[in-house]
Amino acid sequence: MEEKFIFSGKYKFVSLLLILTGLIAVVAGFFVYHDHGSRFWANFLMNTTYFNAIALCGVVFIAVHMLGNSGWQVSIQRVPEAMSMFLPVSGFLMLVILAGLWFNFHHLYHWAHPDPHDTILELKKGYLNIPFFSIRTIIYIAGWIIFARILRKISVLQDNNNDLKYFKKSTVYAALFIVFFAITSSTSAWDWLMSIDAHWYSTMYGWYIFSGLFVSGTAVIILLVLFLKGAGYMKHVNKEHLHDLGKYLFGFSIFWTYLWFSQYLLIWYGNIPEETAYYVPRLDEYRNLFFINLGVNFIFPFLALMTRNSKRQPWILAMVSVVAFIGHWIDYYLIVMPGTMGAEAGIGFFEIGMTLGYIGMFLFVVFWGLTKASLVPENHPYYKESMEYHTQY
Amino acid sequence: MYVSPVREPLIKGGKNYSKVTEDITRPILTKPGKLWFFGITISSIAAVIGLIAMFITVRDGIGRWGVNRTIGWGWGITNLVWWIGIGHAGTFISAILLLFRQKWRTSINRSAEAMTIFAVMCAGVFPLLHMGRLPLAYFIFPYPNTRGLWVNFNSPLLWDVFAISTYFLVSLLFWYTGLIPDIATMRDKIKNKFIKPIYSFLSFGWKGSARHWSRHESMSLILAGLAAPLVLSVHSIVSMDFATSVIPGWHTTIFPPYFVSGAIFSGFAMVLTLMIVARKAMNIEQYITVGHIESMNKIIIATGSIVGIAYITELFMAWYSGNIYERFAFYNRAFGPYWWAYWIMMTCNVITPQLFWFRKLRRNVVFTFVVSIFINIGMWFERFVIIVTSLHRDFLPSSWSMYKPTLIEVAIFTGTLGIFFTLFFLFIRIFPVVAMAEVKGILKTSGEKTKH
């Protein structure tokens, strides 16, 4: 049962229009804001890391299910696979930020030009220096892209050959990827995001970023699956698949809150100035967003997806996914902006336009990725389990 | 529901329903063997020794322990955290694995949940004793009283009271709900006219009607939903006993998820230690197969690696913080007077589970048994390292001190091990050690087909 996605002119038009919107916003911002591009770079970093996380979630989703020997997700597997094809784009954009660090285009990371009297940054110099930072960044990007490509390639090869060896091979690569990811997800979060507030540190940080990655990635998977279903593809995806995706969104939203709250509580309770320094500007200058963040990422999905029926209802699921997508965008905003823009940041045409541009790029790549192979990996050994998927709870 | 032929059967030996009942109830219906008497004798002796040591502690006070002004928490809290952690496997298996529809859990959930309950009971001993005045232990509960006393709701120690008591209650309910159909089976099987009424009473009049089953299953699912957050919350709150302080080595934000992962890690190690022996001794190897052991070993690699990453993250952040006290705390952990405890912890918890990446090793029963013992030891040392090495050299070098447990403390710990194993030995003689009803539920889809 081969099924191919057709990247029609309509979809091309919409995604290119979104990209164009982003470009217009960037150009307009150049004329409107006279801040030497600091607003541009802050948004650039925020969107690149956010969309990179979503693309990376595609690989994580495939790998963890492979290792967990799970069968239900096989029939939607091509969606996260296509998402992972955005990694080269986000990786390239990250390299632009890296180049900016070498050639002083931006001041996103103040550790790059430390005050000579700053003893704390002096103590961190062994880790926070431009050459080592660049090496690490390149390792992360290269590693993720290589693993994503290998897993995708094996999965597509399997379409023409129902030998079990592909299944076994991909399990091995999934395990290798997870080990690589377990380390790099934390270190990349420290490097790219935590080091914006270079004096501050939190051991939880890497896992916190990971939990956000899984929520926003799942939300995007749900939206893409529902979109494909709406467009007449993937008829085999039934309410059980949606229910399971909804459970992920529900569960990991709570998990994200758990990590958010644990980090906040412990820092609040300890009340050590070095640590509270992170929350003070966020509570002073970003007070509204700070609480909105909790509302949209915890209270809303928690209440909206609580019942069994809501997880099986496509429109509720779609609505919660959109909110979660915006919610985690806000989370990234709160992560990046206070350290890069201080109190100057806002949310205007520039932020929205630029994010729409990223959405356009992401959709373009994902749609293009979906056309590259059948929408169902029919030789997967768990294919039939996923096609005939029903359960009593 | 279709099951791919690639999957390994979960129940071996071409069982049918009556064979399952026969195999699982046999240990209860027959007389116990020599091995059982030997085991329960040893563990009861240990329990009695522990009870004597507990009595001495209550009679004389905490002065009988090795703790001092600098190191206020020693073996007592180490053991508390260790036992609470052991309990987590049971809740994880019955709640989270139920929600994830992992069918292999049906063979081990019963005994793992029993372990949870016994482990929490053992854990409870330590804070009660450490309060010093046992008869006043009820002061920890907030209720209107004429003494003018009120508890401190800002203290994580109080949160522990609620977290652990809720945990115990929900685990007990969960375990018992699952037991009801199996107790009913026992009621029907047992001939002895004195014991039969007891099982009959305990089975709550279970008839196995469709309505009973429907309610039973929704009840299980609701309890699973309630227990799933408990898996995370209990050990998170235990970790906050340490992490809310400002002591380097204790105050770190990764503690809650890292403690939870460590707890599941140690819990699965204990399940493996017990079940590898039990499956052999009780002749239930076709129910707890090598496949089950492999699955548990996979959880051990996952949680063990998370714990390993947490150790290294803590170590790195201590350096990265640029805070000299943080840096010293971790340097002192690895190279101070308690260096040996740190390296035992690192070897047992980080290195040994990594060997399970090899399929041959994770399917090797003897090897798994040895590693599970290593992990039990390693996880005990983890708590010891966190508690003692962080405390013994504090901000004021004149009050630096060393800690050595007294014989009384060792005896109490041995005693809780004795209580735990005594209860477990009794459990396997009284209740079906494998959830018969649940195993029967997966037999059609995941049982090995008989050769006709």
Of residues B2, B217, B314, nearest to A203 (C-beta): B314
Helix axes A239-270, B210-243, angle to 10 degrees: 30
pLDDT the model gives residue B450: 57
Kindly report which listed range (A384-393, B42-51, B127-136, B371-380) carries the lowest average pLDDT score. Answer: A384-393
Query: Is B358 near chain A, with CB under 8 Å?
Result: no
Which residues on A lie below 8 Å from B309 (Cβ)?
A: 182-183, 186
The pTM of the whole model exceeds 0.90: yes
- A363, two tokens: 């959709």
- Which chain A positions have a beta carbon within 8 Å of B323's beta carbon? 274
Judge whether residue B145 has pLDDT over 90. Answer: no
Total number of domains in chain A: 1
Q: Is residue B407 part of a domain?
A: yes
Q: Is A244 within the bounds of a domain? A: yes
Q: Are A250 and A311 in contact (CB under 8 A)?
A: yes
Interface test with A, best of B104, B232, B254 (most A CBs within 10 A): B254
Chain A residues near residue B252 by CB distance under 8 angstroms: 203, 266
Long-range contacts of A309-314 (CB under 8 A, 24+ apart): A310/A246, A311/A242, A311/A243, A311/A246, A311/A247, A311/A250, A312/A239, A312/A242, A312/A243, A312/A246, A314/A226, A314/A229, A314/A242
Q: Are B13 and B286 within 8 A, CB to CB?
A: yes
Q: Is residue B396 less than 8 Å (CB to CB) from chain A?
A: no
Beta-carbon contacts below 8 Å between A and B: 96
pLDDT at position B350 is 93
Percent of chain A having pLDDT more than 70?
Answer: 99
Task: List the single best residue of B219, B320, B357, B358 to mutate versus A (max A Cβ within 10 A).
Answer: B320
Lookup result for tokens 């997800």: A185
Facing A127 at nearest CB: one of B221, B245, B320? B320
Q: How many helices (H) and strands (E) in chain A? A: 17, 0
Asked, for residue B276, whether it belongs to a domain, the answer is: yes
Does residue A237 surpass a pLDDT of 70? yes
Backbone dihedral angles phi then psi of residue B11, each to the nearest 5 degrees: -115, 120
Q: Is the pLDDT of residue B240 over 60?
A: yes
Shortest CA distance from A260: residue in chain B? B253
Is residue B51 included in any domain, yes or no? yes
- CA–CA separation, B271 vs B401, rounded Å? 37
CATH number at residue B281: 1.20.1630.10
Looking at the partner chain, which of B240, B298, B313 has a beta carbon nearest the beta carbon of A206? B313
CB contact under 8 A, B321 and A201: yes
Range(s) of the domain holding residue B315: 17-447
Which of A164, A258, A388 is the closest to B2 by Cβ?
A388
Instruction: Report d(CA B223, CA B173) in Å as an integer.
Output: 8
The string of pLDDT tens digits covering residues B282-303 is 888 889 999 999 999 999 999 9
Do A263 and B3 make contact, defined as CB atoms within 8 angstroms? no
> Does the CB of A123 have a partner CB in chain B at under 8 Å?
yes
Whether B298 sits inside 8 A of A186 (CB atoms) is no
CA distances from B160 to A259, B83, B84, B170 (A): 19, 14, 11, 15
Rg value, chain A, Cα: 21
Residue reference for tokens 């990250």: A94
Determine the Cα–Cα distance for residues B263 and B87; give it in Å rounded to an integer: 8
Does the beta-carbon distance from B322 to A67 stay under 8 Å?
A: no
How confident is the model over A258-300, as pLDDT tens digits?
999 999 999 999 999 999 999 999 999 999 999 999 999 999 9
Minimal CA separation from A318 to chain B, in Å: 22
**Which residue bears the tokens 């929520």?**
A215
Q: pLDDT tens digits for A115-174?
A: 888 888 888 989 999 999 999 999 999 999 999 999 999 999 888 888 888 889 999 999
Residue from A334, A257, A242, A331 nearest A299 by CA: A257
Helices B210-243 and B156-189: crossing angle in degrees, nearest 10, is 150
CA closest to B254 among chain A residues: A204
* CB atoms B4 and A205 under 8 Å: no
Cα atoms in the Cβ-side hemisphere of radius 13 Å centred on A191? 26
- The reported pLDDT for the residue numbered B92 is 87
Confirm whether A167 is domain-assigned: yes
Contact residues on chain B for A123, CB-CB shorter than 8 A: 322
User: What are the angstrom distances between the C-alpha of A198 and each of A129, A183, B228?
Assistant: 11, 20, 36
**Does B253 contact A69 at a Cβ distance shorter than 8 Å?**
no
Q: Is the Cβ–Cβ distance between B95 and B174 less than 8 Å?
A: yes
**Residue in B with minimal Cα distance to A202:** B253
On whether any CB of chain B is under 8 Å from the CB of A124, the answer is yes
Per-residue model confidence (pLDDT) at position A1:
58
**Residue type at position A270:** G
Residues B182, B180: Cα–Cα separation, whole Å = 5
CB contact under 8 A, B245 and A270: yes
pLDDT band for position B452 (50/70/90)? very low
CA distance A56 to A89: 12
> Taking 80 as the threshold, does the pLDDT of residue B1 lie above it?
no
Provide, as residue numbers in chain A, all residues whose Cβ is less than 8 Å from the Cβ of B257.
204, 207, 258-259, 262
* A21 vs B: CB within 8 A: no
Most B-contacting residue of A129, A163, A203, A238 (CB-CB within 10 A), to test interface:
A203
What are B354-379's pLDDT values in tens digits? 999 999 999 999 999 999 999 999 99
Mutate to test the interface with B, among A167, A173, A188, A207 (most CBs of B within 10 A): A207
Residue B23 contacts residue B287 (beta carbons within 8 Å): yes
Asked if A270's CB is within 8 angstroms of B246's CB, the reply is yes
Distances (CA, A) of B397 to B73, B328, B340, B401: 18, 12, 22, 9
For residue A46, pLDDT over 90 is answered with: yes
* H/E run at residue B81: helix B75-91
**What residues in A contact B101, CB-CB < 8 Å?**
391
Q: Give residues 204 to 223 of A whose Cβ lies within 8 Å of B.
A: 204-207
The tens digit of pLDDT for each residue in A74-120 reads 889 999 999 999 999 999 999 999 999 999 888 889 898 888 888 88
Q: What is the largest CA-CA distance in chain B?
A: 79
ipTM score for this prediction? 0.93
Question: Is the torsion defined by CA of B61, B64, B70, B71 positive or negative?
Answer: negative
- At B91, the pLDDT band (50, 70, 90 cuts) reads confident
Cα gap B432→B184, rounded to integer Å: 11
Residue A263 with chain B: CB contacts under 8 Å: 253
pLDDT at B394 over 80: yes
- Scanning A238-257 for CB atoms below 8 A from B yields 247, 254
Asked if A263 is an interface residue toward chain B (Cβ–Cβ < 8 A), one would say: yes
Inside any domain, residue B2: no
Q: Please, which pLDDT band fits residue A393 given cuts at 50, 70 and 90?
A: very low
Contact status of B323 with chain A (Cβ, < 8 Å)? yes
Is the residue at A119 inside a domain? no
Per-residue 3-state assignment (H helix, E strand, C coil) for A220-238 = HHHHHHHHHHHCCCCCCCC
Test mutation, A136, A211, A262, chain B, max B CBs within 10 A:
A262
DSSP lists the bridge partners of residue B447 as B11
| B149 CA: distance to closest CA in chain A (Å) | 24
Number of domains in chain B: 1
Distances (CA, A) of B60 to B71, B73, B132, B223: 19, 18, 9, 42
B132 reaches A (C-beta below 8 A): no
Q: B240 touching A, CB under 8 A?
A: yes
A290 touches chain B (CB under 8 A): no
For residue B447, the SS3 value is strand
- Check if the beta carbon of residue B270 is closer than 8 Å to that of residue B372: yes
Mutate to test the interface with A, among B296, B321, B444 (most CBs of A within 10 A): B321
Q: Identify the domain containing residue A367 by its residue range.
A: 9-114+125-385
Q: How far apart are CA A60 and CA A56, in angstroms?
A: 6
Closest-CA distance of chain A to residue B159, Å: 14
Match 């900016």 to its residue by tokens. A100
Best mutation target, A165, A247, A253, A266, to test chain B (most B CBs within 10 A): A266
Q: Does B255 touch chain A (CB under 8 A)?
A: yes
User: Does residue B99 sit at the A interface (CB-CB below 8 Å)?
Assistant: yes
Tell me if B194 is assigned to some domain: yes
At residue A36, the pLDDT reads: 77
Q: Which residues of B146-175 are buried (b: 16+ CB within 10 A; e: fewer)?
A: eeeeeeeeeebebbbbbbbeebbebbeebb
CA-CA distance, B243 to B220, in Å (whole number)?
34
Q: Do B251 and A69 touch (CB under 8 A)?
A: no
